[in-house]
Chains A and B, each alone.
Chain A
């Protein structure tokens, strides 16, 4: 009887995973096809096989279409997993690196590098070292914020109050960034403003190559935290009595979140409401709290949400494209409000 129902659950689960994967592939394809410049689908595909014959299509494919679709997947994976980890780490279903101000902390780190340090080292922003510096700065900013939030979460027990606190931290950091912006010179400001918009469209394959190892490491580490995350579901005390080394578990999850959220913020700026929404979608779809299943589901759902946002951001029949942040917010916010109203928190 038990194994029977177990089999049903497992086959249902596999079915959902296959469906999600197929949807990701489909959306990935659509995202490559849709763009500001009109290029026939056939040309795009043919350009992969013979780039010299279709040089324009090939240029568009490698410089714009493939990078943005890959960027959507990479950011989706990173934001989805970092959201899931943040919620379990803080035991707060309304948590996410963005709403708790962790992303803003990362932004502040980036602003510090691009606007302050670059004044003394003007070539930093465009040099290869610059990219690494930005990642490190973002991760340091994220880590400092997360430490602060961790300390405060020991005092504030209420989920919604914690959310308000996080939003205030985020607002404070954003204000600090604005102050730094006003004190900066125009050329530096330009590079920062483009960055700060929460966009994936400016990313080239070279950027993605730098980001990928960090995201891969963060994702891998999250899988090593599966048992710890499951144990944390019913509280730190229980986790400890079940042999979990709490300090080690927390540090491991912490590093995962910092790598994922920090790297994304370093290259895309703050992207809103993906991290908080994706874990809830994953739990609803898979009806489980097993973090192994949830991590896999979140990376797929996260990719889907980012790809869909990017597809929708290209208004059909025009060459205007909306900021992807607006679309992720429009998708995520109703779900979060529904969760608050249903008191499923």
Chain B
């Protein structure tokens, strides 16, 4: 058995809190995170992903169950010592004082400093390395309030890197980021896990990124906790349970589709000169506006033809009318009208 020896091992963990009459409970949860592994935790809003992370970093105490760090029960590790093992990046974004990126990152060294909080040259070297790793050199002296959302997230990750811990937990590091920044952050975190042999666990809502990038997928549901390589979960067809049957997960394309209730039927034929991809796109467009495709002839028949270099969509209606559309947009407009 390889890779089951965990950096972080969670056993039958019951999590939750009871603040101001708001009670919340989740679990039991069991999983193991290995060294050098990028893991992602997904699940619907309010299922307890953040609470789980906070329990792992001991901002919340567990109700039951155990967490082990390198085989040691986490509960028995003093918090000051634990801050050298596990770093946390939270969603909290309030910075009342103008603090530079460098200052923010250097705060990651706090677990190693004496009460006077002076940085040694070794500390500064580690801070510099973290800044370089997150590609923040040019922003060193910029106030954290004046950088973009993506840059701020990188600075927060750099702070966690400066903390120099074998485990890093991140609560929604890609929230509020555009698609380029999202991928950028995830790749940097992947590099950190794989090259520096750190254990990285993050929560995310982005299933597509999770499936294509993570080594281990943790799926948290109200009464279920699934763990495995994303492909393992696809193999067992377990991902569909995530979406309460409102969405359908297509295991081949690896993408999500909303499960639609089709109200209308149409048939689609294409001439032999038309490539399959064009027929596919036509199907996608028709499904998008609520048409279910059947092979039988219906009240609406769509035929795709190739005319010169372009394509043409002929619509034959049951009332005998025929329309010719020169784009899928025109086809959708026409059939959208016809629905009414």
Contacts and interface: CB of A to CB of B under 8 A. Distances in A.
A235 B94 contact: yes
A224 B121 CA distance: 22
B121 A231 contact: no
Given A227-B113, A227-B116, A234 B79 contact: no
Interface stretch (B97-105, B188-196, B235-243): B97-105
**Residue among B98, B99, B107 with the most chain A CB within 10 A?**
B107
Interface residues of A, number: 35
Interface string A296-329: 0000000000000000000000000000000000
Contacts of B100: 289
A290 B107 CA distance: 10
A227 B115 contact: yes
Contacts of B87: 241
B110 interface: yes
Interface string B97-140: 11110011001101101111110010010001000000000000
A323 B81 CA distance: 53
B79 A240 contact: yes
B88 interface: yes
Nearest to B94: A235
Contact of B96 (A3, A159, A238): A159
Given A224-B115, A233-B99, A234-B99, A2 B128 contact: yes
A259 B243 CA distance: 57
A223 interface: yes
Given A226-B116, A230-B110, A241-B57, A3 B90 contact: no
B2 interface: no
A93 interface: yes
Interface residues of B, number: 37
B83 A242 contact: yes
Given A230-B117, A292-B118, A242 B111 contact: yes
A190 interface: no
Contact of A231 (B96, B110, B124): B110
B96 A91 contact: yes
A291 interface: yes
Nearest to A93: B96
A231 B88 CA distance: 14
A223 B96 contact: no
Interface in A81-106: 87-88, 91-93
B95 interface: yes
A91 B121 contact: no
Given A3-B121, A243-B79, A243-B80, A231 B92 contact: no
B59 A290 contact: no
B163 interface: yes
A93 B159 CA distance: 23
B226 interface: no
Contacts of B99: 233-234, 289
Given A2-B124, A230-B110, A290 B83 contact: no
Contacts of B86: 241
A290 B119 CA distance: 11
Nearest to A6: B124
B88 A238 contact: yes
B109 to A, nearest CB: 9
A244 interface: yes
Nearest to A234: B107
A143 to B, nearest CB: 24
A185 interface: no
A231 B159 CA distance: 12
Contacts of B97: 87-88, 91, 93, 233, 283, 289
A242 B108 CA distance: 7
B115 A344 contact: no
B186 interface: no
A240 B59 contact: yes
Nearest to B121: A3
**Residue among B94, B96, B113, B114 with the most chain A CB within 10 A?**
B96
B116 A242 contact: no
A239 B117 CA distance: 13
A237 interface: yes
A245 interface: yes
Contact of A243 (B83, B98, B114, B128): B83
A291 B96 CA distance: 15
B325 interface: no
Contacts of A290: 103, 117
Contacts of A175: none
B69 to A, nearest CB: 14
Interface string B154-171: 000001000100000000
B82 interface: yes
A231 B115 CA distance: 11
Contacts of B107: 230-231, 233-234, 238, 242
A52 B291 CA distance: 110
Nearest to B79: A243
A46 B163 CA distance: 59
B19 to A, nearest CB: 11
Given A243-B80, A243-B111, A238 B124 contact: no
A6 B121 CA distance: 10
Interface string A279-295: 00001000011111000
A291 B113 CA distance: 14
A244 B80 CA distance: 7
A17 to B, nearest CB: 16
A345 interface: yes
15 contacts: A2-B124, A91-B96, A233-B99, A234-B95, A238-B92, A241-B88, A242-B163, A243-B82, A243-B84, A244-B110, A245-B80, A290-B103, A292-B117, A292-B118, A345-B96
Given A241-B87, A244-B110, 15 more contacts: A2-B124, A91-B97, A226-B116, A227-B110, A227-B115, A227-B116, A227-B117, A230-B110, A233-B95, A233-B99, A235-B90, A237-B90, A241-B59, A242-B110, A242-B163
